[in-house]
Amino acid sequence: MAKREIQYRGLFQMILVLGIGGSFPYGFHISVINYPSLHIKKFINETWLERHGSPLPQESVILLWSFIVSSYGIGGLIGSVCCGYLTTKYRKKKCQMFTNLIMLTAALFMGFSKMAKSFEMILLGRLLYGIGIGFSFNIHPQYVGEISPKKLRGFTNATVAVFLTLGKVAGQIIGLGEILGTESLWPLLLAFSALTATIQLVTLPCFPDSPRYLLIQKGNEEAFLKAIKQLWGEGDHQAEIDDIKKEKAAMSCTKSLRVLEVLKAQSLRWQLYVTITVMSTLQLCGINAIYFYSFEVFRTAQFEETLIPYIALGVGICECFSSILCSSLIERFGRKPLLWGGYAAMVLVLAALTVTLSFQHRYFWMHYLSVIFIFLFVIFYGIGPSGATISVMVEIFNQTYRPSAFVIVGFINWMGLFLLGMIFPFIVEYLGPFCFLIFMGILAVSSVIIYLYLPETKGKSILEITMEFNKLNYGKKQVFLIENSSPKETVLCTKL
């Protein structure tokens, strides 16, 4: 065991470096913005009063605050859409280094906004954070998926979710009033990402580009073998090397497809169906509704108001530990059972939570059952969809199609985040706790789709996974796909 840990030391170190500047800031900025909201609104009003001699109407303050919050999603959409072309042209490592410069610029705007008496700097900083994280959250899953050996691929992909939840928890902790969530220190709170960006900017140059990129796209076998040795250490990696060389041979006549070409390609049809299903479900599974209702449930359960932020922090920590558990279970049970089983378990918990929330005013003990179900939902979310979704999306696309596929993934993610933020308050207002019925329906349908149509990717090479999908893309016949430079030039050979 000790030998294996030493053998893959370079891989684990690179996973840490990629996570610090990858999905960690994404989770951090989702959770941290809520804590200084009152201080920022006060700062906006005071700045306006000083400039114009009259206070800003409350409706205008709320509107400006909404722009600040939503600019993160708009920036993320811009970053993720641009990322596919740039990573293909300039490689993932160089683009991730550039992302850190964007994050540092955003942190400077945030950190000096109060000193400059400019709430516009907060808006611009939030937009730049979104652009930077749109890049990094697109690059991070692809990069970790490409640097890992087949037997550790599920674990490394699941670490994306682990760092995301660590970022959420870090935002919850640092944002507490006892730390940086104060009226005087909130600019430092919003500039915290300068630290993670600096760490990655200094350490990432010590690591290589992904071995798959070096061999398949650059054709540099010497650099490929050197990267394998640096990341995986000494050992017998010949079987893994042969698989990557087979993938290179199969892709020798192909080029990187643009987003529209990926959308039109028949050979990628069911990969896209699965991607859209799992990514949409991740946004529409009800996890945001759970976090929204958690504060109300904790209040009706008569917890002291000062304790509620810490109980909410407990929910975040619970999600974090569940994601860590997922990274341990994913190679044992596979991706498919964690996805459809997680969806099914979440349906049952939401059904129970709907009942307890509906009757909480009639029976006092229902409040405590609701608290239990909130924690259970977060556990099933962390063990199942949170970690397995990323792994599936990385594994079902080969090296040349993956950048464009992740542009589609990023678009769904950020557009879903934006639309949910716009629509969800109205859903809650009109449906109350019965809003969970919508999420239950989405989860139930997704569970059936994944159970019926997602091939298990555990322990399989990219070519083997592609062959499984070809059975869906081209019917029940066993097919062997040879793609030329565009989807229109696809040749099919069938066994007779």
Model pLDDT, residue 53: 87
Tell me, what amino acid is at 207? Answer: F
Q: How confident is the model at residue 493 (pLDDT cuts 50, 70, 90)?
A: very low
% of the chain exceeding 90 in pLDDT: 51
Residue 482 has pLDDT above 60, yes or no: no
Q: How confident is the model at residue 380 (pLDDT cuts 50, 70, 90)?
A: very high
**What are the CA-CA distances from residue 182 to residues 35, 129, 267, 309, 448 (Å)?**
9, 21, 54, 15, 47
Residues 297-352 have pLDDT tens digits of 677 666 777 787 788 888 889 999 999 999 889 988 999 999 999 999 999 999 99
Chain mean pLDDT for the chain: 87
Residues 208-226 have pLDDT tens digits of 999 999 998 888 999 999 9
Backbone angles phi, psi at 321, to 5 degrees: -65, -35
Model pLDDT, residue 229: 92
Q: Which helix (H) or strand (E) holds 73?
A: helix 58-90
What CATH class does 256-475 carry?
mainly alpha
> Do 281 and 388 touch, CB atoms closer than 8 A?
no
> Do 253 and 485 touch, CB atoms closer than 8 A?
yes
Phi-psi region of 432 (alpha: psi -120 to 50; beta: other; left: phi over 0): left
Model pLDDT, residue 1: 42
- Find the Cα–Cα–Cα–Cα dihedral 172, 133, 201, 82, rounded to 10°: 180
| Residue 346 CB burial class (10 angstroms; 0-12, 13-18, ≥19) | buried
Full-model pTM: 0.87
Q: Do the two domains 8-207 and 256-475 of this chain adopt the same fold?
A: yes
Tell me, what amino acid is at 277? Answer: T
Q: How confident is the model at residue 15 (pLDDT cuts 50, 70, 90)?
A: very high
Handedness of CA 329, 333, 339, 344 (dihedral sign): negative
Model pLDDT, residue 346: 95
**Separation of alpha carbons 436 and 156, rounded Å:** 32
% of the chain exceeding 70 in pLDDT: 92
Q: Which fold has domain 8-207?
A: Growth Hormone; Chain: A; (1.20.1250)
Residues 249-295 have pLDDT tens digits of 877 666 677 888 888 888 899 999 999 999 999 988 888 777 766 77
Q: How confident is the model at residue 62 (pLDDT cuts 50, 70, 90)?
A: confident
Give the list of residues 6+ apart from residue 424 with CB closer than 8 angstroms, or none.
288, 289, 292, 435
Going from N- to C-terminal start, the domains of the chain cover: 8-207, 256-475
> Do 210 and 147 touch, CB atoms closer than 8 A?
yes
**Separation of alpha carbons 93 and 42, rounded Å:** 40
**What are the CA-CA distances from residue 82 to residues 61, 136, 265, 378 (Å)?**
32, 12, 21, 32
Q: Which helix (H) or strand (E) holds 99?
A: helix 92-116
